[in-house]
């Protein structure tokens, strides 16, 4: 059971938009910054979003992040087959540890 | 650019100690936090802990009694030791660089902690 709650799976057609939610509490998301990671099959996770809504260099602006209260959202527009991956949210928790969501598998139909 | 590479035995016997090293190349280990994360087969990510280059550490409460993370700045390496392993510790182990800090707003501190550079991961199997 993960501290942060994500939907197990989402799907959408190529070119469409999808959002992935990440729900937490005041102990984590509510009072700290959220990051998002993309894990393509068989590879290491890759940072997509940090500090709620900032993109590292090289991450296209099709990827966006937002936070409201104790929840965060990752948005992906102009879906491509290459976006099929597992997506994880993460943040600092007041238990003095980093916590992750259980991951969301994105299928591009 | 900074690259990380995990190394260590791929097979560890139950009750023994898992030992891994992460070598940082293309940059200095000084400054930044450095983390270990693991991923059991078919499951999600689990943060193990971090070390600052100065040597201060913080561990996942669920693993704290068995984990030790250390740093060797002269070799640009940091290491993980996990004692008394069981089959439940079988996983891909990743090392990562972790920018971390906090912003102050009013009377509150808001922490940021994220992993921006990851190693490719190394699979560790616990089995006799």
For A92, the closest of B61, B108, B111 (CB atoms) is B111
pLDDT score at B103: 87
Tokens standing for B25? 């190349």
Tokens standing for B9? 């035995």
Interchain pair B44, A47: CB under 8 A: no
- Averaged pLDDT of chain A: 96
pLDDT score at A55: 98
**List of long-range contacts for A4-8, beta carbons under 8 Å, 24+ apart:** A4/A28, A4/A29, A4/A89, A4/A90, A4/A91, A4/A99, A4/A100, A4/A101, A4/A102, A5/A101, A5/A102, A6/A87, A6/A88, A6/A89, A6/A101, A6/A102, A6/A103, A6/A104, A7/A104, A8/A102, A8/A103, A8/A104, A8/A105
Of all residues in chain A, the one with the smallest CA distance to B61 is A97
pLDDT band at B101 (very low <50, low <70, confident <90, very high): confident
pLDDT one-digit tens code per residue, A29-72: 999 999 999 999 999 999 999 999 999 999 999 999 999 999 99
Query: Is residue A84 scored above 90 in pLDDT?
Result: yes
Substitution target from B6, B112, B116, B121 for chain A, most A beta carbons within 10 A: B112
Exposure string over B1-37, b if 16+ CB within 10 A, otherwise e: eeebebebeeebeeeeebbbbbbbeeeebeebbbbbb
3-state secondary structure of B55: coil
Q: Which residue has the tokens 């070598």?
A: B23
pLDDT band at B33 (very low <50, low <70, confident <90, very high): very high
pLDDT score at B97: 97
Measured between beta carbons, the chain B residues lying within 8 angstroms of A91 are: 113
Query: Is residue A1 scored above 90 in pLDDT?
Result: no
pLDDT score at A54: 97
Query: Is residue B102 scored above 90 in pLDDT?
Result: no
pLDDT score at A95: 86
% residues pLDDT > 90 (chain B): 88
Integer Cα distance of A100 and A35 in angstroms: 9
């Amino acid at each position: 059971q993960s501290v942060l709650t994500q939907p197990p799976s989402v799907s959408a057609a190529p070119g469409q938009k999808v959002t992935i939610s990440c729900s937490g509490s005041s102990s984590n998301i509510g009072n700290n910054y959220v990051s998002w990671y993309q894990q393509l099959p068989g590879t290491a996770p890759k940072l997509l979003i940090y500090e709620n809504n900032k993109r590292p260099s090289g991450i296209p602006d099709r990827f966006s992040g937002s936070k409201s209260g104790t929840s965060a959202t990752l948005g992906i527009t102009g879906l491509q087959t290459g976006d099929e991956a597992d997506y994880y949210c993460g943040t600092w928790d007041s238990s003095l540890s980093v916590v992750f969501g259980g991951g969301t598998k994105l299928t591009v139909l | 650019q900074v690259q990380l590479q995990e190394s260590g035995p791929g097979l560890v016997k139950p009750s023994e100690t898992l030992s891994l090293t992460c070598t940082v190349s293309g940059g200095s280990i000084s400054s930044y936090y450095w983390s270990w994360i693991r991923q059991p087969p078919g499951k999600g990510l689990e943060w193990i802990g971090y070390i600052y280059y100065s040597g201060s550490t913080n561990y996942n409460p669920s693993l704290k009694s068995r984990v030790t993370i250390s740093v060797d700045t002269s070799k640009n390496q940091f290491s993980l030791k996990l004692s008394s392993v069981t089959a439940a510790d079988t996983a891909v182990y990743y090392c990562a660089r972790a920018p971390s800090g906090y912003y102050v707003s009013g009377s509150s501190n808001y922490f940021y902690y994220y992993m921006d550079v990851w190693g490719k991961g190394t699979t560790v199997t616990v089995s006799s």
